[in-house]
Amino acid sequence: MSQASSKGKELPKKAVRNRSQYAKTLHRADPDTDEPRPACPTRESEHDYTEVPTAAYRPHYKLCGNPECFGGEWR
């Protein structure tokens, strides 16, 4: 059974999250980099990211609302 975001798009099998113990947001992985980095402007931060299975983390983490990740257009 596949999970979908609020826009009706299917979620990728893998996402990235900040390695911090306080992180609670999943980001879409940037396809243009070899390292696990978010697709949104958060990728410019100095934080370390790790790739995780989306289905396992989705119940406890929110999806990034940035248009480049899982969000729609900015209001």
Indicate left, alpha or beta for 8 from its phi (over 0: left) and psi (-120 to 50: alpha).
Answer: left
Question: Does the residue 71 lie in any domain?
Answer: no
Residue 31: alpha-carbon gap to chain centroid? 12
Question: Does the residue 57 lie in any domain?
Answer: yes
Question: Does the residue 39 lie in any domain?
Answer: yes
Beta bridge partners of 18: 49
8-28 pLDDT tens trace: 468 899 999 999 999 999 999
Question: Does the residue 46 lie in any domain?
Answer: yes
Which H or E element spans position 54? helix 54-57
25-56 pLDDT tens trace: 999 999 998 999 999 987 777 889 999 999 99
Question: Does the residue 56 lie in any domain?
Answer: yes
Q: What is the pLDDT of residue 71?
A: 82
User: What does the angle CA 9 – CA 20 – CA 8 come to, to the nearest 5 degrees?
Assistant: 5
Question: Does the residue 8 lie in any domain?
Answer: no
What pTM was computed for the model? 0.79
CB 14 within 8 A of CB 51: yes
pLDDT of 73 > 80? The answer is no
- Total domains in the chain come to 1
Domain holding 48, by residue range, is 14-63
Question: Does the residue 74 lie in any domain?
Answer: no
Q: How far apart are CA 54 and CA 62, in angstroms?
A: 11
